[in-house]
Structure 1
Amino acid sequence: MDGIESREYLESQLETILKWEKEQKDIFLWEKIGRIPFMLLDRLTPKIVRDNVGEALNEIGSFIQSGGKYLVRKKSVMFVLAGTAARGAEGLKDSLEAETAGSGKEEGTVNDRHEHDSEEMLTLDEASKLPIHVMDAAADGITTKRVKFAAAQGAATGIGGIFTIAADIPLVLGQSLKVLQEMALCYGYDPDNPRERVFIVKCLQFSSADIVGKKAVLEELAVFDDVEKSDQVFSQLQGWREVVQSYTDSFGMKKLFQLIPIAGIIFGSISNKGTIGDVAETGKMLYKKRRINQRLRETDIPL
């Protein structure tokens, strides 16, 4: 699995990511305006609703410390990676279908099935050495699956308009954390590691930030793997509440029409689909960039 990609291939992939980063450093005027009614809504929201959202924020804070209930099963993602590496697109499809079929079962049963069906159950270290195109394929397959689930959830919570949106926001935040962990695993990084949970929160922050915010996050993450220079990133962990609150506020226009009962079914589906898609893309690109940079460093290629 080692030394598969050429220097030219890695550099071309890195160039694609840098182009994507440049495109992200923008925010349309309507998005800024769209946050205004949502912030006003927050002031008018009944106390019980605001309390529910506050509890969700506290739970997400615990994710940073211990992972809490948001940690994903590594073996599920390793199973998808193994299938993709062994049999390409067909293996990816089969492993995703098997993972879906087992998602409602007990974890031990699912893991046993994975170990039985997989030609080779990968370790995290082995996964980190897979070709980039295998990692990309697995990440894209998982993203497609998570986006479909988010769309269905948004439709369900859009039925009651303003009365069910309070339940929708914590659910979307939880899904965002989970899909970012899956992106981490696809590129060989361990979300059980507190260090990676900091990176995940930074990805969450990036996905909802404006131009200035995105630039600041990219500057922080540029030195994330430099132990001597990464202290500042970890020190900002204390600001996780602001990160999550900013993410909640950023729904803005996306959630505005979901406040309308019944019509919220359509808008809720579209909103959640876009939100999870954006978060997954952010995780994929930023984790892929780390993996490519690491491989370039390992081959002593100046960046």
Structure 2
Amino acid sequence: MTNTETEAYLRTELRQIEQWEHEQKDIFFWEKLGRLPFAILDRITPKFIQDKIGTALDELGGYIQSGGRYLISKEQMYRKFFPNEEGDQGPALERIGQLPLGRMDEIAKHIIETSSKTAAVQGATTGIGGIFTLVIDIPLLLGISLKALQEIAISYGYDPTEQSERIFIVKCLQFSSADVVGKKAILEDLAAFHSGEKSNQVLSQLQGWREVMLTYRDNFGWKKMVQLIPIAGMLFGAYLNRSTLQDVAETGRMMYRKRRILEKLHADKLL
């Protein structure tokens, strides 16, 4: 399939992503405050809830290592692009990568929309029971987030079953909840992927996955506080889960979109 997108168009889209990256480095005061309640409430959180959070951390490590139960069906995603064909891994991903950027964006945005609605419903449901239902909420939201990021990866022609892509996905998860210093460091890590260098330096960060999830966990600070009041927890749970998923998925879309644009420019020898 011939790429008909012009250099001017691709470079314009690339500049928009770089502007988005720059904006993400600005951390707001309320984002810092959002981490405080977790430290305070940790002292009164029952041990079985803390154990469940620890299990979620371990599951993320398992996801990086082998994919585990979080891996999605690639064939279902292929049918979104090629509804009348049976998906075959290699050729299907190659063909997706050669599609116009607009078609990839269309599928990715649909994934963000549907995943956000799922996360909102799940947040409202688990918010009914107050703080104790956080035991259910954290692993469920983690699963929805990882599923959305894997589907977005396929939307831009990348295989989320590869270990290097699973690391990239977790980095996107980390980026969406990091502070300004963390975002800058993660962008530098992801630069190796953007330049096509799946370097040993990035792969060696496999051992640092627990820090990723600890940062992700901190985002639940305000939610835990509000979930002390069951009904309020339902409303706030729906809002926070939706906004959290949107942030995570939009990060994935921008990062994978940037990689695809750079590869298109490189393929046409425009870089």
Q: TM-score surpassing 0.5?
A: yes
What's 1:39 paired with? 39
What's 2:172 paired with? 203
CA contact (8 A) 1:165 1:259 kept: no
The alpha carbon displacement at 1:170 in A equals 1.5
Deviations 1:156-176 (A, max 9, x none): 000011111122112111211
What's 1:93 paired with? none
CA contact (8 A) 1:158 1:259 kept: no
The alpha carbon displacement at 1:5 in A equals 0.8
The alpha carbon displacement at 1:143 in A equals 1.0
Q: Do structure 1's residue 160 and structure 2's residue 125 form an aligned pair?
A: no
SS in 2 for 1:191: coil
Q: Counterparts in 2 of 1:80-99, with a 5 A limit?
A: 80-82=80-82
Deviations 1:175-201 (A, max 9, x none): 111111011000000011111001011
SS in 2 for 1:72: coil
Unaligned runs of 5+ in 1: 83-117
TM-score (norm 1): 0.84
Q: Which has the higher contact order (CA 8 A, sep 6+)?
A: 2
CA contact (8 A) 2:131 2:224 kept: no
Report the AA paired with residue 283 of structure 1.
G
Report the AA paired with residue 48 of structure 1.
F
Deviations 1:80-127 (A, max 9, x none): 223xxxxxxxxxxxxxxxxxxxxxxxxxxxxxxxxxxx2344511111
Unaligned runs of 5+ in 2: none
CA contact (8 A) 1:150 1:273 kept: yes
Distance 2:86 2:256 in 1: 22
Q: Do structure 1's residue 119 and structure 2's residue 91 form an aligned pair?
A: no
After superposing the two structures, state which structure 1 stretch, 202-211 or 26-35, moved more.
26-35
The alpha carbon displacement at 1:228 in A equals 5.8
**Which residue of the other structure, out of 187, 205, 221, is the alignment partner of 1:218?**
187
What's 2:268 paired with? 299
**Which residue of the other structure, out of 210, 231, 251, is the alignment partner of 2:220?**
251
Distance 1:259 1:243 in 2: 26
CA contact (8 A) 1:70 1:174 kept: yes
CA contact (8 A) 1:207 1:278 kept: yes
SS in 1 for 2:231: coil
Distance 1:180 1:283 in 2: 6
Q: Among the aligned pairs, what percent are the same residue?
A: 56
What's 2:27 paired with? 27
What's 1:101 paired with? none
What's 2:244 paired with? 275
Distance 2:8 2:85 in 1: 30
What's 1:58 paired with? 58
Distance 1:121 1:133 in 2: 23
Structure 1 stretches of at least 4 aligned residues deviating more than 4 Å after TM superposition: 225-229
CA contact (8 A) 1:220 1:230 kept: no
Distance 1:198 1:30 in 2: 29
What's 1:68 paired with? 68
Q: 1:165 to 1:11 in 2, by over 3 A?
A: same
How many pairs does the alignment contain?
A: 267
The alpha carbon displacement at 1:225 in A equals 5.2
What's 1:78 paired with? 78
Distance 1:59 1:14 in 2: 34
CA contact (8 A) 1:181 1:191 kept: yes
Q: 1:274 to 1:212 in 2, by over 3 A?
A: same
What's 2:147 paired with? 178
Distance 1:220 1:40 in 2: 32
The alpha carbon displacement at 1:49 in A equals 1.1
CA contact (8 A) 2:223 2:233 kept: no
Deviations 1:209-229 (A, max 9, x none): 011111111111112255667
The alpha carbon displacement at 1:56 in A equals 1.8
